[in-house]
Structures are given as C-alpha cells and as structure tokens.
Chain A
C-alpha cells in the first residue's frame, strides 16, 4: 500500500479559551480528493493552516510522507514536501501582476525573461483550468475582481517547476466563482486527482463536496466527528453529521411564501439599458448572472445615490451595505467585534453628545444572540473570529443600523449551511417588517429566497424574472449571449 501523504494524530491548537482543534486525526492518501465539511468555527481553516505550515499546533503528530515533522514543520517544509494551499482569505500581493505573483512560488524562474516564462506558465494553467478566463498575466492583481483573483490564486497553486507537488488544499475555492467557473475548477480537480495528485476540498456547498470527493471528513467543535467514503453520505446525512437540525426542506417552506409585487411603494428605481430595476418596500430582490457582470456596480450606484453622491436613480430611504469581500470592504481589523457592529449605528448610540459604551455593548449583545456569533467575548478582536463569523458580524452591522434598504454584495462567501439558513430566516423576518433587500448572489439556491430576480450581463439587466418564472436554466440562458 502507498504511504499516506499526510497522517496527523491528535493535533490540537488553542487560541486562548477557544479550542480551535481539540485532538484531530487526519489522513490523506495519494490520488484522492478529500472533502472537508463543518460549521463556521468547526476548525477546518485552523487544521488547514496547520497543514500548510502557517500555524504551529500545541500538541500532536504531524506525519508527512511517513515522517513525524512536528518540531520542524513550517511553511518551507510544507513547500518542500509538495503541499500547497489556496486560502480562503486570498493571499496574492495586490500591487504585483499576475505573473509576478506566480513567480513568488518558483524561485527557479530567474535570469533574463523570467517574466515572460512565468507569464506563459500561469496563462497556460489558467487556460487549462478556466478556459475563457479573460485574465492577462500582466494584469495587476489589485485591479482584478475578487472572482478573478481567486482564479489566479487557484491556478498558481497548480503550476509546476522544480518543486514537487503532491497535495493542494482548496479552502472554499468556489466561494467567489460563479456556477460555470466553479464547475470548470471541480472538473479539473477530478482530472488531476485521476493523475495521482491529492486535493483537500473545503466547501459549504455540500453538493460540490458530495459529487467531487472520494472521501468526506466532517468536523465539529474542533473534532473529526465522521469520516466515510463520499458515496455513503447524502445531503441530509451530511447536514445531520455536522450537527445541524434544520432540514434542507425548510428552504422550500420559505419558498412557499409569496409576495404580491407592487402592493407597496417603490423604494429603489434604477434604469439599466432598456430595462429598469425596481424594488418595492418589503421585497427581497435578487441580482443574478455570472460573477462580475455589473451587479456590484449596481449596488454601489444605489449606495452612492442614497448618500447624495451621484444620482443614478431614485432611492427612498436610508441604506446599508453588507460587503462580501470582507477584508477589503468590510471589517475594521483593529477593532473588537462589538465596535465592528456598532460602527453602523453610531448616531443612535450617542447620549448627551458622546457615544455611550453601554448602548454599544447592548447592540453587540443583542446581535450576538440574534445571529449567534461564536465568541466568548464580544470585546475580542474581530480577527479572532472564523471567516464565517466575521461575515455574521457584518450582517449584524447592517441589520442593527436604522437602514430600510439593505444591499448585499454576495455576502454568503464562506458561510456554512446552518448559518445561511439562519440568516435567510432573519432576512425574511426583516423583510416582513418592511425592510427591502437587494441581494447579489452567485449561488443559485439563494435566488429562491428572492421575490424577484434580475439577471445581469455585461453590466446591464438582460432578464427580469418573477418568483414563479425563476429556474436555473433561465438564469444560465440569460447569462450568456445568444451568439455564444
């Protein structure tokens, strides 16, 4: 039998009182795709950080290719042993070009013309994984949309020079990709796994994990709670193992709820090409289409209009935005969780001219309960939270404010199923109370929560679908030009 690439035994890592990993065993065989699922804060990202060498565990055996490397293991050792990681928080240098970022992994590409060589290498890999990606190796990464940055990061992890490559960790690789590119990636993963490479696939889209993994490991509260071949799981049993009592059927229950369009006042109206985006009070409006086709631009236009910048249309009522690209657009990294939530409601916390710490703490407490932010203390720094919990804090910021119109810029990236269902409920409740939601999403399932959906292509609205008309085929059909 072939030796395992990775064999972890009883690996533990604590952050203060938080037991991120509580004694985890993990094995990865050559030529397999291992699916890893679990709630936000279950310890998946921490485990992968240990594997990539960016975190040193407190205790445990780090077996790599059959040798225990615990004491000496780190990023250089991981590279030496052919283990690479595509992190959830993208790790490209924004001020460098695509080619320059690729070069960082490959010290052997040097001398005259290294840029051309690296450029050709990364372009070839991008072409292989994402045909029609539209990225040039000379593009500066900071100018690329988050979806394209993710494509570059993924392609870079698969490039080969003289260092070995045995295992690629994909932490939420599809979270910023649209349906088409996500499928391209997953097909590619199956192909390389067939060639003998191993992958670890972390995703909250359970369908992806079920369909594309050989084996699935389920984590909960810093422990592995289940480990079986992918074929032995189905969606419901996987959700049950994750410790999630909410059945997927509940989504369809929400879907039963119907809203008569046009019975309330129009609060947002923006022209786009020959069409017009309209949102009535209390509606949930979906913005669909392939990633980066003008949905974010539409939301920012509405946001600016509301704040009296340029006027792209009519917006009646205060607006708040839930960022999807949370590192760039959302969190304040020096502040506590409570401060990060309170910043959206500053004017309401003022008593006699000064911000009242009691009022601020109260808002934090309320929303910790309502949206279940997993932390022992809301005064902890925001970065002490897992990615999904940071995202919850951003939701809390918008929902705690007095905004009547909430703009959501693909906000469910890296959020687990259980949390998603809770947030969907919350959005429904708030909509019933009269708040209006404009929701850009790259996930088809989420559109079924919307009362009305607009499909975008090339920056313009190309289709306008009511609840009853909404199907995946229609959205995909409208997302591509007829000539394509």
Chain B
C-alpha cells in the first residue's frame, strides 16, 4: 500500500472532492476579482463554515446509522437553544457557564424527545424529528422574549476573535472535528454506528447494543445543534427565530458532499470541513459574479449535484 503514489491514495479518499471543489471555487472567485480579497473571503468562509461543521458532525453520525435516519430538528434546536441561553445569561459574563449548561441541556431534552418518538412511538425518524422541530420552535416562540437580548461580551468576543485572520472558533472546532474523527474510527461507539448503518439486524446479532447507540446518536446531534445555537447567537449579536433555517439542508449537504454515504455505514469527518467551506465559497463566488438570486440558486443546485456525482462514484463491490 505504501508504494502507491500519494496522489493516487488521495484520489481514493471520499473527502478529497470537497476540498478540490473548495479550491476551484476559491480560485475562480479571486481570479475574477484579480486577486483582491482572497484572504478575506477565506476568513469569512472559515467563520461561517464553523457553524455548519458543528451541526454537520452530529448529522453525519445520524445519517451513518442507516437509511431513513436523519435529524430535521437541527434548525429548531439551534433557535431554541440560542434564545434560551440569551435569556438566561441576560448579557452577563458571570452567567456564561450556566448559560452554556442550560443550552446544552436544551439539546439533551430535544435529543431524548426525538429518540422517544422514534423508539417508543415507532415514528420514522424523518417525521419524528420534523414534528418535534415544530414543537421545539413553538416553544422558542413562546419563550421569545429572549430575542432582543445581546450576548454576554465575553461570548461575543470569543465567537468573533481572530488570530492572523483565522477565527479562534474555527481552530477550536477543527480540534473538535479531529476528536470526533477519532471517535468515529477508533471507539466502540463509532464502530457500532458504522455497523448499524450497514445492517442493523446483523449488528444486533453481533452483540452491538443497537438501541443505546441510536439513542446516543440522536442526543449527540441535538446537543451539537444546541451548542451551535449558543455560539451562533454569540457570533451574530443575539438569537433570532430563523437563525437555524439555513442549517436544515446545509447540515445534510455538507455530510453528503463530504463523502459520507447516504445509505449509511460509511462516514468521514474531514469531508465535512471541505464541504462546508465549499458551500460558503460557492455562494460567495456567485455573488461576486453578480448572479441574480434565481441564477444563484440554480447554479448552486447544479454544482452540488455535480460534486456529489463525482464524489459518490464508488466502485461497486464485486
């Protein structure tokens, strides 16, 4: 294996295409502007991609547990957790830790609730998480008095701080992604998720505690969505009810473009970063070209389809 040229080994990685797409789109953008603002675009992409990566990792674990598994309650959870955290902290730095704990607690509750719907009431995950998202969002609206509140200064500072143009938050989340990559490939939990995604019955018969793993996965996804809501509210100067909206398709798209199999059982973390950057840079590029909103949407759709086709070109086994 080691004798293979590095290039060939890279091409075999499912996540490589998201990075190729990212670089191509970035080059296209800066060549249009004549090299101006290339670094600024990257900084912005890193900032915004960070939030997609946080929820994308949770969504990746859910999707990997097999066909039909997806978490559609992520946007509602982001808005809910952000609103509750802002209200609790009320702009005070001393409440920061408590705010974070309550925010993650919101995620925990949503995750447990999602799993209960799926397991106890036997509702398909798509319907279960979609309907729970209505409940969660309604709660956030009822709780909506937190919406005009500014985040604590420390949180806002942390969420927007940069070193040499690299957002601190992006560095932290990159580290977190490395940890989750290890969790996926080198822990019993990760292996179990991959096994369940290939064949749930075989996984059960191989001694894997299927339901505990699924429970943990839905909770993980909701808790990460809550964490995203917490930092996103800090980043954008407060919570809003629609701040999670773009993460519905965003979280799924980055997982798929990143090379994770929609059929389950096969996943990777690096691709999520590449795909999140790619998605942001793509929209930036189309904006730079001066494309109208309609053209932008059409091109975004076409380009995503193209990347998935190239990246998803798995050789069939035997």
Contacts and interface: CB of A to CB of B under 8 A. Distances in A.
B187 A332 contact: no
Contacts of A384: 317-318
B317 A333 contact: yes
B67 to A, nearest CB: 13
A355 B191 contact: yes
A194 B236 CA distance: 83
A81 B209 CA distance: 50
Interface string A328-354: 111111110000000110110010011
Given A343-B208, A354-B182, A401-B207, A330 B202 contact: yes
A334 B198 contact: yes
B202 A332 contact: yes
A307 B318 CA distance: 35
Contact of A346 (B191, B199, B266, B318): B191
Interface string B188-210: 10011011001101110111110
Nearest to B261: A334
Contacts of B194: 332, 334-335
B8 interface: no
B75 interface: no
Given A332-B195, A355-B188, A381-B317, A344 B206 contact: yes
A329 B202 contact: yes
Interface size grouping (class) on chain A: 20 to 34
A330 B205 contact: yes
> Chain B CB within 10 Å — which of A303, A328, A332, A347 has the most?
A332
B186 interface: yes
A333 B208 contact: no
B260 to A, nearest CB: 12
A37 interface: no
B265 A355 contact: no
Interface string A393-419: 000010001000000000000000000
Given A332-B265, A343-B208, A384-B318, A355 B187 contact: yes
A334 B205 contact: no
B205 A332 contact: no
B128 to A, nearest CB: 23
Contacts of B201: 328-329
Contacts of A307: 207, 209
A400 to B, nearest CB: 12
A16 B198 CA distance: 25
> Chain B CB within 10 Å — which of A331, A343, A353, A397 has the most?
A343
A355 B206 contact: no
Interface size grouping (class) on chain B: 20 to 34
Contacts of A15: 318
A397 B191 CA distance: 15
A334 B202 contact: no
A334 B266 contact: yes
Nearest to A354: B186
Contact of A397 (B203, B206, B317): B206
A11 to B, nearest CB: 18
Contacts of A344: 206-207
Contact of B186 (A320, A330, A334, A355): A355
Nearest to A331: B202
B222 to A, nearest CB: 24
A343 B205 contact: no
A280 to B, nearest CB: 23
B317 A383 contact: yes
B213 to A, nearest CB: 12
B205 A303 contact: yes
A447 interface: no
Contact of B207 (A320, A355, A383): A320
Contacts of A61: none
B179 to A, nearest CB: 11
Nearest to B182: A354
A50 interface: no
Contacts of B207: 307, 320, 344, 401
Contacts of A355: 186-188, 191
A46 B129 CA distance: 46
Given A332-B265, A333-B198, A334-B198, A347 B188 contact: yes
Contacts of B191: 343, 346, 355
B186 A343 contact: no
Top 5 A-B pairs, shortest CB-CB distance: A354-B186, A332-B198, A383-B317, A346-B188, A355-B186
Interface of B: 182, 186-188, 191-192, 194-195, 198-199, 201-203, 205-209, 265-266, 317-318
Given A328-B199, A343-B208, A355-B191, 17 more contacts: A307-B207, A323-B202, A328-B201, A330-B202, A332-B194, A333-B317, A334-B198, A335-B194, A343-B191, A347-B188, A353-B187, A354-B186, A354-B187, A355-B186, A355-B187, A383-B318, A397-B206
7 contacts: A323-B202, A328-B202, A329-B205, A332-B194, A354-B186, A354-B187, A355-B191
